[in-house]
């Protein structure tokens, strides 16, 4: 069996469009300034992505269509890269963005959004532990073999987010058009856990038995105790905080007519060069 690796973009296309709106706001809040529209009403959007170097889907797995129908994929369509090196990693993210709004004038722009987000990260996971996570302790070829784990890390977090964005034109002359923006988010923490496994020496003698001879680890969580509702509900508040994103965009030789939705004869090119940066 051979495994091939391919790379793909994750929402980069819409995020860099002149009409990116809420997608561009997440990447760089300065992107809503000087756009070719006066306002944007966003109804609903969502996204989910997973990146890892261990588990892979075979062709014709029909993951997306079966997920919408609430069905699981066939077990033989999911394979793994069972190699000693490199150590395994996995990253995942998902969000649902609810109704949101952007208003853009000649010099100022503003917007707000409400969303629910989730993030997952796992790094430096050894192949034998990854195999047990996939197959369970009944994977006979690994039983009665002592294993070590070093510096493995796992973190999961999900939260509600309410954000307000403001942007302004910083410079506008015949050569450069520079915009700046900032988004401030109020965060409503839902569920979270983390595990820093500095060292573990373990063995699985049988399907239902795990023997840990030595372990050095740090663990923490904010999770429902039983999921029966009330204070134990998965949607109960378990923390709060704030975050911000700020950024700038620089356009060189920008054609203002091209970005004005009310003018004709816009010319051939919107700009010659553009770049941006942000801090989160």
Torsion angle of alpha carbons 261, 266, 269, 273, nearest 10°?
A: -50
How does pLDDT run across 259-274, given as a tens digit for each residue? 666 555 545 555 444 4
| 254 vs 273: CA distance, rounded Å | 8
| 79 vs 3: CA distance, rounded Å | 9
What average pLDDT is seen over the chain?
Answer: 84
How does pLDDT run across 88-116, given as a tens digit for each residue? 999 999 999 999 999 998 899 999 999 99
Burial status of residue 273 (CB atoms within 10 A of its CB: 0-12, 13-18, 19 or more): exposed
For residue 93, give Cα distances in angstroms to 15, 62, 158, 234, 271: 16, 20, 9, 18, 34
Read off the pTM.
0.77
CA angle 222, 224, 227 (to 5 degrees): 165
Report residue 144 as tokens.
């009665």
Contact assessment for residue 188 and residue 161, using Cβ atoms and an 8 Å cutoff: yes
Dihedral sign for Cα atoms in the order 120, 123, 125, 131? positive
- If one compares 245 and 106, the residue with the highest pLDDT of the two is 245
pLDDT at residue 53 greater than cutoff 50: yes
Contact assessment for residue 165 and residue 195, using Cβ atoms and an 8 Å cutoff: no
The set of long-range contacts for 251-257, using a CB threshold of 8 Å and a minimum separation of 24, is 251/34, 251/176, 251/177, 251/178, 252/175, 252/176, 253/175, 254/34, 254/177, 256/177
Burial status of residue 45 (CB atoms within 10 A of its CB: 0-12, 13-18, 19 or more): middle
How does pLDDT run across 186-196, given as a tens digit for each residue? 999 999 999 99
Average pLDDT of the segment spanning 53-82? 77
Q: Please give the pLDDT value at position 165.
A: 97
pLDDT at residue 175 greater than cutoff 90: no
Q: Please give the pLDDT value at position 183.
A: 96
pLDDT at residue 246 greater than cutoff 70: yes
């Amino acid at each position: 069996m051979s495994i091939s690796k391919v790379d793909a973009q994750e929402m980069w296309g819409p995020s860099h469009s002149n009409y990116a709106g809420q997608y561009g706001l997440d990447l760089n809040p300065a992107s809503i300034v000087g756009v070719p529209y006066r306002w944007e009403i966003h109804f609903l959007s969502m996204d989910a992505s997973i990146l890892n170097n261990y588990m892979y889907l075979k062709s014709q797995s029909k993951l997306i269509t079966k997920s919408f129908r609430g069905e699981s994929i066939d077990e033989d369509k999911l394979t793994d890269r069972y190699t000693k090196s490199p150590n395994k990693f996995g990253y995942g993210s998902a969000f649902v963005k609810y109704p949101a709004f952007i208003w853009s004038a000649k010099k100022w722009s503003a917007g707000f959004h409400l969303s629910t987000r989730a993030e997952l990260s796992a790094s430096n996971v050894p192949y034998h532990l990854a195999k047990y996570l996939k197959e369970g302790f009944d994977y006979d070829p690994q039983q009665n073999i002592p294993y070590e784990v070093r510096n493995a890390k796992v973190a999961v977090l999900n939260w509600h987010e309410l954000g307000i964005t403001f942007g302004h034109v910083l410079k506008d002359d015949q050569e450069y058009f520079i915009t700046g923006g900032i988004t401030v988010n109020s965060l409503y923490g839902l569920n979270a856990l983390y595990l820093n496994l500095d060292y573990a020496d373990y063995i699985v003698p049988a399907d239902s038995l795990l023997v840990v001879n030595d372990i050095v680890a740090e663990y923490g969580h904010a999770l429902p105790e039983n999921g029966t509702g009330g204070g134990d509900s998965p949607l109960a508040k378990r923390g709060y905080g704030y975050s911000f994103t700020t950024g700038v965009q620089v356009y060189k030789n920008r054609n203002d007519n091209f970005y004005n939705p009310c003018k004709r004869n816009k010319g051939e090119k919107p700009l010659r060069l553009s770049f941006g940066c942000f801090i989160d």
